[in-house]
Amino acid sequence: MSASWAENMRLRAQTARRTTGMVLDEERILNLPVEDYPDNLVETWTGELQTVRSRVRGDDPPLFPVQAEFCEALSRAPDRRGVVASVSVGDGKTLMSLLAGTVLDAKKVLILLPASLRKQNLEDQARWKPIYKVHPNITLCSYEKLSHPNHAFILDEIGADLVIMDEAHSIASSNSTRTKRIFNYFKSRPKTRAIVMSGTLTSKGLNDYAHLVELALRQGSPLPTSFAIRERWCAVLDPFGEFTDNDWSQIRWLVGEAVGGMRARKRAAQLAFQKRFKSAPGIVVSSSENRVNASLVYASWTPETAPEIETALDSLRRTWTLPNGDEIADALEYSRAQKQISLGFYYVWVWPDGEPDFPWLETRCAWMATVRNIVAFGRPGMDSPALVARAAEQRRLSVNVLSVWDEWEAHRHKDPPPTETRWLSDAPLREAVEWTKEQPPLILWYRSRAVASKLEELGIRVFTPGSAPPSSAETCALSISSYGQGIDGLQYLFSNQLVLEPASSGRSWEQMVGRTHRTGATADVVNVHFYAALAFQSAMIKAKTEAKYIERTTGTRQKLVYGSFGDSSDQDLLL
């Protein structure tokens, strides 16, 4: 980043303060230094962190450039500050987390990560210890364990002075139990350093990660720390945000030039923000270079629509009712039902004797709303639904809350009604299975348990959540939720896949496609086929929009953006 650009930023801040009274938060962001790194970081940090045995052998792999830059950023970090690493899928975040404590000379390192990645992390530690100086005192804790009522104070019990949040998008919600427990720990131990790592820090907007960047960088965050200013920036920068001239006035100094038109302003603001974000001290972003040798190609897959499915979709559009007559309550439920019916099924609650238990439904709804309000405050010992229920049982809540609890208490012993899958037609999945027989071994990506059960019935091997990932190249079905992030090794087995239930999240797509299109991929081309039913087209458009936003604001390349679409109609769908 050039020195002239940095000086230009400082002049903008001075001019804005003099002419318009710029708020301090914006001035702070414009005045942050511009970080610059020397060219020899890979050689320097590889030599610094390699074990003696590895240096003697001389044939072990050096650090990736982004890994060396990460180490340099850590070495420059002031007291109490860490690093934010927006690193592409497959760029070596795990090794970064294992070396961070060594670079910072930490006493005890805690790595927070999804439970599904714990085993792989332990295997990676064993793999890297003979080659690099992995920190000797690392504790792993899953986000799922951190959220459990019985582990409300587990962070205090561990007592780490360096906390690394791997796959940090798992704590994107500042209102979740796990996020509140992390922040309470840092409040009680302000000298603790935080490192935030993810290949997809954001998906919907600044609020996905503003709290995490501030936790790691404190007042060095290149995002607004003022809620009011951040909301105005969100309106301009977020992919689906709508903004006014007043919102634009809060960020125009970052852009630095006159821009007309709402779309042009949003794009200009996103690119200007990316430049400020990437250049701030403590921010490490993967380079624009794509180190995956395989090209990436997307193509739509559309089976024949069974008459039963077509009739059910038409009825859903006209009457907002399911095939059994149940009414749809809102747009979210409608979208979910439309996607399920497109695959040939839908879910229903099965009430005894066909009569809904209205007292159970009403008191449950009232109690859940009350719990949400209490958990939102994030008080220690009262930051999860289970802990609030425990407090109600011990009569430690207000009279009004206890009255809601007492009404729910009379019904909460009842089991929820069972959910039943009703199939209209399994034709789409049968056609998918037949199609796989003409293809090399591939992955069928799914989300719904009904789809998993039907695929297994049709002879496809289904890997259920919690089981080890595939170890051989044979056509199989994998859950997007369980295997769509963090899993390494699939790139050696598969170069072909069919996404039966395309997600509407750009972050989800980046993680999922990154299982096969990553460093080490053996094929020349990685093919991603997606079910292009009408119900999923809006999901694909939304995901592509989010992917463009992520790339424009963080600078981290997104696979939905740089991948090519084999059919022009597929490209038109996602423009």
Is 80 exceeded by the pLDDT of residue 323?
A: yes
User: Range with the lowest mean pLDDT among 16-30, 400-414, 503-517?
Assistant: 16-30
Q: DSSP letter for 458, please.
A: T
Q: How far is CA 325 from CA 163, 343, 512, 535, in A?
A: 51, 19, 36, 20
H helices, E strands: number in the chain: 27, 15
224-271 pLDDT tens trace: 998 888 999 999 999 988 999 888 988 888 888 778 888 999 999 999
When pLDDT is averaged across residues 323-341 and rounded to a whole number, the result is: 84
Phi and psi of 30, rounded to 5°? Answer: -65, -30
Q: How confident is the model at residue 563 (pLDDT cuts 50, 70, 90)?
A: very high
Position with higher pLDDT, 286 vs 575: 286
Q: How confident is the model at residue 505 (pLDDT cuts 50, 70, 90)?
A: very high
**For the chain, how many residues are written?**
575
Q: Give dist(CA 340, CA 37) in Å, integer.
A: 50
393-424 pLDDT tens trace: 999 889 999 999 999 999 988 888 888 999 99
CB count within 10 Å of CB 276 equals 19
SS3 readout for 267-297: HHHHHHHHHHHHHCCCEEECCCCCCCCCEEE
Distance, CA of 149 to chain centre: 24
Q: How confident is the model at residue 27 (pLDDT cuts 50, 70, 90)?
A: confident
Farthest CA pair distance, the chain: 76
User: Comparing C-alpha atoms, which of 502, 508, 515 is closest to residue 546?
Assistant: 508
Q: How far is CA 23 from CA 14, 131, 231, 316, 505, in A?
A: 11, 49, 14, 51, 34
Taking the whole predicted model, whether its pTM rises above 0.85 is answered as no
Phi and psi of 430, rounded to 5°? Answer: -60, -40
N- to C-terminal Cα separation, the chain: 31
List the alpha helices (DSSP H) in 376-461. Answer: 385-393, 399-409, 427-436, 449-457
pLDDT at 6: 57
Position with higher pLDDT, 253 vs 440: 440
Based on the number of CB atoms within 10 Å of its own CB, is 318 exposed (0-12), middle (13-18) or buried (19 or more)? exposed
List b or e across 245-258, with b for residues whose CB sees 16 or more CB atoms inside 10 angstroms: eebbebbbbbbbee
Q: How confident is the model at residue 10 (pLDDT cuts 50, 70, 90)?
A: low
Is 90 exceeded by the pLDDT of residue 16?
A: no
Phi and psi of 402, rounded to 5°? Answer: -65, -30
When pLDDT is averaged across residues 333-356 and rounded to a whole number, the result is: 90
Distance, CA of 541 to chain centre: 18
DSSP 497-543: EEESS--S-HHHHHHHHTTTSSTT--SSEEEEEEE--HHHHHHHHHH
Position with higher pLDDT, 449 vs 289: 449
When pLDDT is averaged across residues 54-58 and rounded to a whole number, the result is: 84
Is 70 exceeded by the pLDDT of residue 142?
A: yes
64-110 pLDDT tens trace: 999 999 999 999 999 999 999 998 887 889 999 999 999 999 999 99
pLDDT at 575: 45
In whole numbers, what is the pLDDT of the chain averaged over residues?
Answer: 89
Is 50 exceeded by the pLDDT of residue 317?
A: yes
456-499 pLDDT tens trace: 999 999 998 878 889 999 999 999 988 988 788 899 999 999 99
When pLDDT is averaged across residues 377-400 and rounded to a whole number, the result is: 82
Position with higher pLDDT, 444 vs 466: 444
What angle do helix axes 262-279 and 534-554 make, rounded to 10 degrees? Answer: 50
